[in-house]
Amino acid sequence: MSPVSDRYGQEDPLSRRALITGITGQDGSYLAEHLLAQGHEVWGLVRGQANPHVARLRKHVGDVRITTGDLLDQGSLISAVERVQPDEVYNLGAISYVPMSWQQAELTAEVTGMGVLRMLEAIRVVSGISPSRTPGSGQIRFYQASSSEMFGMVRETPQNEKTPFHPRSPYGVAKTYGHYITQNYRESYGMFAVSGILFNHESPRRGAEFVTRKVSLGVARIKLGLAKELRLGNLEARRDWGFAGDYARAMHLMLSQDTPEDFVIGTGETHSVRELVEFAFRTAGLDWRDHVVTDPRYTRPAEVDLLCADPKKAREQLGWEPEVTFEELVTMMVESDLRLLSESARPEDEPFSPDHW
Ligand code: NDP
Ligand code: GDR
């Protein structure tokens, strides 16, 4: 193990170095912010030769170092781990939009599923780990971004670490592979590799394709007279929605434990899309029934009807609690989009929002 990696566990937290894949996404920016505040040196793995999302990241988080790499390319991941010599690797990179995973099922399997294996292999190879050479105390710690979408068609609610998986999309299937391969590397090689099974978490930085941001942007457009209607799919689906900043704290806590274990992270509260819409419109003094149109283009080939976390283990073992309520989250997002669209009717960094099933 390199001298840099051997620093894990020393008293001075300033010496820790993190490598984050998916740093240009919503969670990457909150995690980078959190780790920098903890005194970490933060590196982001970024794909492409001129990734436009880096500029958006820099608006939120300044002091991140960038290295290039792609979850589709094993050699690039090995080079990144060799270059950065991280103490912690957070694998957040993925095709994360569920409808896209039906349109590009094979690519989703490669990035969201096989990408996890490639990242684990990069750590294993660079650290010289094999069945006969297990990692020492200074090993690289690995976090995998698992998802409540693995529960899919649930037969019991709320869902905890022991609830069986029944994924309902190519995305959910790919995440389930990533989850099990992480567990497998922990059990086969003794690696400090954990998965956080995170329920939906949102923020003003959420991509415009996801329902919460689509709604907050829609409300803001209608309030400012830029649109009249908002077209949505299934209003009856229920989700456990929390604030992304709270969930970034949980990721770091999971890698700071003495033993590697998986944790469910969520609020324990569930709301329907209809409730979300009703509350978001009310926040802006509007009646959703005057503006929302249901459109079959936005319903999915298979739906996950109900998700609700049982975060008891995280509360008891990590001391983790969400700080932002559902109402505070929706209000924060609507107010942020009202400000954003007041400044510019079409903000330059507004993400492309594709049509889908
Ligand atoms: P985003 O969709 O906002 O970000 C996805 C990130 O993955 C982007 O930075 C993107 O980079 C990167 N990426 C895509 N393809 C590749 C690739 N081939 N190689 C390297 N990086 C790639 O997701 P979130 O921030 O919301 O979520 C972070 C992770 O957590 C994801 O794995 C997601 O599946 C998972 N998750 C998210 C939840 C949520 O509610 N937000 C809940 C549970 C799990 P680029 O700029 O290049 O496009
Ligand atoms: P999800 O999030 O699929 O749960 O995955 P999303 O916000 O896309 O959908 C939530 C629920 O809302 C319903 N819905 C709509 N969704 C979208 N996007 N657009 C619509 O117009 C619309 N109308 C209704 C959906 O059918 C669904 O039931 C997110 C992602 O961040 C994943 O990467 C992550 O793993 C899970 O959360 C946990």
For the chain, domain boundaries: 5-201+244-265, 208-241+269-307+325-341
**Which residue, judged by its Cα, is nearest atom 28 of ligand 1?**
92
**Which residue, judged by its Cα, is nearest atom 2 of ligand 1?**
96
- What is the Å distance from ligand 1's center to 272 Cα? 24
Annotated active-site residue in 176, 182, 212, 283 = 176
Contact 200 CB / ligand 1 (< 6 Å): yes
Report percent pLDDT > 70 for the chain: 92
pLDDT at 287 over 90: yes
Considering only CA atoms, which of 68, 16, 78 is closest in space to residue 44?
68
pLDDT at 122 over 70: yes
Place 105 in a pLDDT band, splitting at 50, 70 and 90. Answer: very high
Contacts of 6 (CB under 8 A, 6+ apart): 136, 138
Domain 208-241+269-307+325-341 CATH (choose: 3.40.50.1950, 3.20.20.70, 3.30.9.100, 3.90.25.10)? 3.90.25.10
pLDDT at 223 over 50: yes
* Residue carrying the six token digits 């770091």: 252
- What is the Å distance from ligand 1's center to 138 Cα? 28
- What is the Å distance from ligand 1's center to 356 Cα? 18
Would you state the pLDDT for residue 131?
84
Place 340 in a pLDDT band, splitting at 50, 70 and 90. Answer: very high
What is the complex's ipTM, to 2 decimals?
0.99
- What is the Å distance from ligand 1's center to 252 Cα? 17
Contacts of 302 (CB under 8 A, 6+ apart): 168, 169
Substitution candidate for ligand 2 out of 112, 200, 209, 329 with most atoms within 8 A of CB? 200
∠ Cα 149 175 108 (to 5°): 105
Any catalytic annotation for residue 212? no
Contact 147 CB / ligand 1 (< 6 Å): yes
- Is residue 243 within 8 Å of residue 323, measured between CB atoms? yes
**Which residue, judged by its Cα, is nearest atom 29 of ligand 2?**
200
**Which residue, judged by its Cα, is nearest atom 41 of ligand 1?**
201
Contact 27 CB / ligand 1 (< 6 Å): yes
Tell me how far apart the alpha carbons of residues 98 and 224 are, in angstroms, rounded to a whole number. 30
Contact 33 CB / ligand 1 (< 6 Å): no
Place 346 in a pLDDT band, splitting at 50, 70 and 90. Answer: low
Substitution candidate for ligand 1 out of 96, 100, 212 with most atoms within 8 A of CB? 96
- As for ligand 2, residues whose beta carbon falls within 6 Å of it are 96, 98, 147-149, 199-200, 209-211, 214, 232-234, 237, 239, 273, 298, 300, 303
State which fold the 5-201+244-265 domain adopts.
Rossmann fold (3.40.50)
Q: Counting atoms of ligand 1 from 1, which one is nearest the CA of 149?
A: 43
Q: Which ranges of the chain does DSSP label H, i.e. alpha helix?
A: 26-37, 53-60, 74-84, 100-103, 105-108, 115-127, 170-189, 211-223, 244-255, 273-283, 312-313, 326-343
Considering every ligand atom, which ligand is closest to the CA of 272? 2
pLDDT at 357 over 70: no
Considering only CA atoms, which of 322, 317, 357 is closest in space to residue 98?
357
Would you state the pLDDT for residue 336?
97
Would you state the pLDDT for residue 62?
83
Q: Counting atoms of ligand 1 from 1, which one is nearest the CA of 96?
A: 34
- 5-201+244-265 and 208-241+269-307+325-341: same fold? no
Query: Is the peptide bond preceding residue 158 cis, with omega within 30 degrees of 0?
Result: yes
- What is the Å distance from ligand 2's center to 210 Cα? 5
Burial of 105 (0-12, 13-18, 19+ CB in 10 A): middle
Place 134 in a pLDDT band, splitting at 50, 70 and 90. Answer: confident
Considering every ligand atom, which ligand is closest to the CA of 98? 2
Tell me how far apart the alpha carbons of residues 128 and 344 are, in angstroms, rounded to a whole number. 52
